[in-house]
Every structure is written in C-alpha cells, then in structure tokens.
Structure 1
C-alpha cells in the first residue's frame, strides 16, 4: 500500500511539473509584424519596409480597423501598427496579394507620422518651390 501511495505521489508530481502551457507554444508560432495598415471597403493591407501583405478580413482585422479609424487623417491614410499574425499564401486561382496575414493579436497602434498624403485631382499641376511640392489646381 505504501508503494502504491508513493508511486501515485511521484506520478502526480511528474505530471504537474510540465513547464510550457500549450497556449505559449501556439503564440510562439505567430510572426510579429510592424508596418502601416489600411482598410478600405473590401480589402485590407499591411505594408512594411520590405513586404506588402493582404490581410484576412475577419473579426481581428475589423477590430484593428475600428481602432485606427480615429487616428486616420483621411480614409486613405495608413496607420503604423505592430501585430502578431500567421502568414500564408493565397489560394490558387484567387485574386489579391500573393501573401496573406491573418491577425492573431494587436500589439500596438501608433498615430501616423509626417504630412498628410498629397491629393491630386484631374487637371492639377505639381510645382516645386524651395524644395517642397505644391499643387496648382487646374480648375
């Protein structure tokens, strides 16, 4: 009886000493990506210094789109973000970006830096003055 009790305690101690939970292993499989995010009606894009990925249109993407909305200066403004995501290739025969990222976690959202994007309309002319770019309306 003592041996059985001792064996049961040893097995319990061995099982309870497992170090890494499964959730940590899953999180380690996702890639951390930093880039500028934009969402327009039916497409979302994450653009980094060395990559451009389409973004899966799912609940997490819509959550990120809601977070960046107040930070955008106009609807075409890209907002700097850091996310954890899962990369995969697009399905054969589908339209869109070759590489797709599915957002798993939103790590950080920053306000856009620099000047607002330059908007041009048909007939506008560009002029350079003192090293800066000016738009001369064609209307």
Structure 2
C-alpha cells in the first residue's frame, strides 16, 4: 500500500510540475505588426489635360497617369466648381523619382484612394430626394 501511495504521489508531482518548454509551445504567438511601406499622402489634387499634381503642406509631386489617377479624377469631379479647382484627397501612393527630365523631381503612383476630404457638397446637377 505504501508503494502504491508513493507511486501515486510521485505521479502527481511529475504531472503537477510545469514544463517551460511545453508552456512555450502552448502559448499563442504574438501578433507581428507589419509596417506599410506605401505612405499615406494628404494634399490637394488637380488633373488637367494630361498632367496631374498632388500638393501638400511640404511637398509637390507630379501624378503618374494610370488607371488609378483616372479613377481619382472621376471621383473628384463632383467637388469641383471650375476646371482648375484643387480637391483635398487622402491617398496611398508610391513615391518614385521622375524618369522623365521635365517637370517634378519625384512623381507618385496612386495605389489606393482612401478619401476625398472636401466638404461633401451635392453636385449641382444632382437632385436631392426628400
């Protein structure tokens, strides 16, 4: 009986001891924060004829004309009253050196349109339903 009781006590001690290696395996891994390599830019946007410009407090970039620039141009049209009005926008854009020798030193390639920051005016040609 003493042997059985001793064996039972030994078994309880072994099971009751916490194994650090096992605890590390069971613990949930910490979530890693990924840093977004594409900067978010807030500035005034204008697109006229075949050139686009994004101007912020401390930068002025030419805008690479691609499908995203065309989409942004269409989205800001309702907020413009004149052809040369600039509209404040928030975009994610990749900044690249300008390979062409004319214009700005750097151009931006718009990757994502986050928001149009102008007051949400109702376009003049849009009817308001009551």
Q: TM-score, normalised by structure 1?
A: 0.60
Unaligned runs of 5+ in 2: 1-28, 120-130
2:38 is aligned to 30
Equivalent residue for 2:53, pick from 42, 45, 50: 45
Greater RCO, 1 or 2 (C-alpha within 8 Å, sep 6+): 2
Compare CA radii of gyration and give the structure with the larger one.
Answer: 2
Q: Hey, what's the Cα distance between the residues in 1 that align with 2:108 and 2:88?
A: 16
Q: How many residues align?
A: 92
Question: Structure 1 stretches (4+) deviating beyond 4 angstroms?
Answer: none
3-state SS, counterpart of residue 81 of structure 2 = coil
RMSD: 2.1
3-state SS, counterpart of residue 72 of structure 2 = helix
Unaligned runs of 5+ in 1: 1-16, 113-139
Give the CA deviation at 1:73.
Answer: 1.0
1:66 is aligned to 74
Q: TM-score, normalised by structure 2?
A: 0.64
3-state SS, counterpart of residue 62 of structure 2 = strand
Equivalent residue for 2:112, pick from 101, 105, 108: 105
